[in-house]
Structure 1
Amino acid sequence: MPEGKSAVNSLEHAVAAFEPGLPLTVAFSGGADSTALLLACARRWPGQVRAFHVHHGLQAAADGFEAHCRSLCEGLKVPLSVRRVDARHASGESPEDAARRARYASLAALARDAGVHDIALGHHADDQAETILLALSRGAGLSGLAAMPSLARRDGLNYHRPFLHLPGAAIRAWLRGQGVAWIDDPSNGDARYTRNRIRGVLLPALEQVFPQFRSTFARSAGHAAQAQVLLVELAEQDLAGVGAPPRIEALQALSRARQANVLRHWLLRVHGCTPSAAQLEELLGQVDACRTRGHRIHIKLGTGFVDRVGDVLDWYNVAPSPRPSR
């Protein structure tokens, strides 16, 4: 089947199968993926789609991006809301992570202002593969290997990714067939960013060796996501048994793997803290060694500390004064 016709069928089938709540907002950067998503959604649900654009202020071309988005939205008769943010990263912080956090915070604020609950994102199969490779490079667990879900619910909002199974090339081919222009962000070619190196070097190599890598990676991500759900369910059951804060003796009755799972879950759910693998291993070792009343536990985890307080573990945002065991 010719590339153009295949791209039309794939993209339009993806939008036809997409069933968000209405009204719907599209996160619109002006790039190919979000442009195709906005155009297809505006055609399917005329008068019920709006666009959000986040002006990151990170490069001189950002004003031009905003002007392009305004022009396209005017032509489509789609309302556009713009939010300007300072997405510069702090010392030691990943620029990509800082920009992503600023972007999602802005989308959530715009959604609250507009009274909408469903936001569509233009992530596609190449983005998913990049996310999985980044997770592997960082030694991520199942939650990282699960990569991006097609639907995520967070802070009362539904984030949809209807293009997650489509290659980026198919999306661009569809747009070319529509005669619609898009922005090519010059920062996407900056080799200082790990994701750009993956896109420019690793994905073409994978395409040559494993032509179906997008679908097989997506399948693996789905398996990881399903397994992660089971781990969370087990952690909830174990947390109900050991308590929050967890009792040390109750933790010791669990296998080491279940201890790690429930402690990780407790720290994240109750305190918003994600320990490193080394920090968690140190804590597990201390839990195992804690067999006397006088055994002290005081370990750095995430942005705070875990202490033994009597017969339980507790987490503090700052280092507490030493407490006697009781």
Structure 2
Amino acid sequence: MASDFEAALTRFAPPLPLAVALSGGADSTALLIACTRRWPGQVQALHVHHGLQAVADDFERHCRALCHGLQVPLRVARVDARHAAGQSPEEAARQARYAALGALARGAGVTAVALGHHADDQVETMLLALSRGAGLPGLAAMAAQTHRQGLIWLRPLLQVPGAEIRDWLRAQGQGWVEDPSNIDPRYTRNRIRQQLMPTLDAAFPAMRQTFARSAAHAAQAQAVLDEVAVEDLARIGEPPRIAALQTLSRARQAHVLRHWLARLDATGRAARPSSAQLQALLDQIAACRTRGHRIELKVGTGQVRREAEVLRWYNCAPSPPAPRTAGDSGPEA
């Protein structure tokens, strides 16, 4: 009988050629091996060296050795993933990683990147979103397929428990690397993994399936709201006309403004407002009844300003450094 991991890979039908984001951890290692066996000669590996830990060089060496044994081309990028003031280390590393992976994938000439996130990661992501008071986008957690940077990002293992992936690797006699930061209790996700997950697993053994259903419901509801936001944005214009915004309910104003701000850059994060920032902007829109009313509020890493009858957002953050490609290695490396 096929395991959940093997069944997930059987259902996986990505566009080829395919790139696999390879950290060297168990999940990405298993995904790369399985994809390489299924589509020999059609798979490449992408590795991001974050430069944040002394063991980062060991991760890269492991990935190079693995790809050499599999006869898989490997592309490596080195990035500066240090966080800016007011930014979380996890978010800085995540942004740097995806930017680097996108650049590597485009350089490799592929249109799809497979990621090794699994069912436990999905539960942790939902719990992390709840701990931060997230809305539907956060509760929808990670999608099996997303589009950004002109690429398709695929997560074929979201229904597979992490323990099963490790069991599969052990059965193959294949090792992997463990990131020491994954046990650092300073990070909220690690506290969720170490303290909450075992308790939830004992109390609700089916939590991976039920959380996945809840995430799917949240994603479906968000998709409907996004359709409404597209219609509202077409009506109020880009940049938004203040008078047109004022014809909408406050809730719809909030949603269409989030949608507009998310469209302003590639990641949708630089312009992402906090709840307090968005509420302050909504208050100013409601109060804006005279020609001389000034709006100039911090939103995300920039400012929303009133210019005549419309709102504009200006990014005040410096551009992140471009990832450095550390060199490509083909199957002979």
Q: Tell me the TM-score normalised to structure 2 length.
A: 0.89
State the number of aligned residues: 312
What residue ranges of structure 1 are gaps of 5+ in the alignment? 319-326
Equivalence for 2:55: 61
Give me the CA root mean square deviation: 1.7
Cα distance in structure 2, aligned partners of 1:102 and 1:304: 19
Q: 1:246-286, CA deviations, whole angstroms, 9 ceiling, x for partnerless residues? A: 22222222111111111221222136511111111122222
Equivalence for 1:298: 296
Cα distance in structure 2, aligned partners of 1:167 and 1:33: 10
Q: Please say if 1:115 is aligned against 2:109.
A: yes
Report the Cα offset of residue 89 of structure 1. 2.2
Cα distance in structure 1, aligned partners of 2:81 and 2:288: 44
Cα distance in structure 2, aligned partners of 1:316 and 1:27: 33
Q: Please say if 1:245 is aligned against 2:243.
A: no
Q: 1:187 aligns with which of 165, 181, 201?
A: 181
Report the Cα offset of residue 109 of structure 1. 1.4
Change (3 A) 1:317 1:188: closer
Secondary structure class of the residue paired with 2:63: helix
> Considering only CA atoms, is the larger Rg found in Structure 1 or Structure 2?
1
Equivalence for 1:231: 225
Q: 1:119-161, CA deviations, whole angstroms, 9 ceiling, x for partnerless residues? A: 1110001111111111111111111111111011111111111
- Which amino acid letter does the alignment assign opposite residue 17 of structure 1? R
Q: 2:252 aligns with which of 258, 262, 270?
A: 258
Q: Please say if 1:81 is aligned against 2:79.
A: no
User: Equivalences for 1:120-139 in 2 at 5 Å?
Assistant: 120-139=114-133
Instruction: Name the structure, 1 or 2, with higher relative contact order (CA <8 Å, separation 6+).
Output: 2
Equivalence for 1:322: none
Q: 1:20 aligns with which of 14, 24, 27?
A: 14
Report the Cα offset of residue 105 of structure 1. 1.4
Q: 2:4, 2:159 within 8 Å by CA — same for their partners in 1?
A: no
Structure with the higher fraction of residues in helix conformation: 1
Report the Cα offset of residue 9 of structure 1. 1.9
Secondary structure class of the residue paired with 1:82: strand
Report the Cα offset of residue 298 of structure 1. 2.9
Report the Cα offset of residue 79 of structure 1. 1.5
User: Equivalences for 1:147-296 in 2 at 5 Å?
Assistant: 147-270=141-264, 272=268, 273-296=271-294
Q: Please say if 1:146 is aligned against 2:155.
A: no
Change (3 A) 1:12 1:298: same
Report the Cα offset of residue 34 of structure 1. 0.7
After TM superposition, the runs of 4+ consecutive aligned structure 1 residues lying more than 6 A away are none
Cα distance in structure 2, aligned partners of 1:89 and 1:286: 31
Change (3 A) 1:291 1:90: closer
Identity %: 67
Cα distance in structure 2, aligned partners of 1:208 and 1:181: 28
Q: 1:161-180, CA deviations, whole angstroms, 9 ceiling, x for partnerless residues? A: 10011110111111111111
Q: 2:306 aligns with which of 305, 308, 312?
A: 308
Equivalence for 1:324: none
Cα distance in structure 2, aligned partners of 1:82 and 1:317: 30
Q: 2:4 aligns with which of 5, 10, 20?
A: 10
Cα distance in structure 1, aligned partners of 2:100 and 2:311: 36
Change (3 A) 1:277 1:172: same
Change (3 A) 1:67 1:308: closer
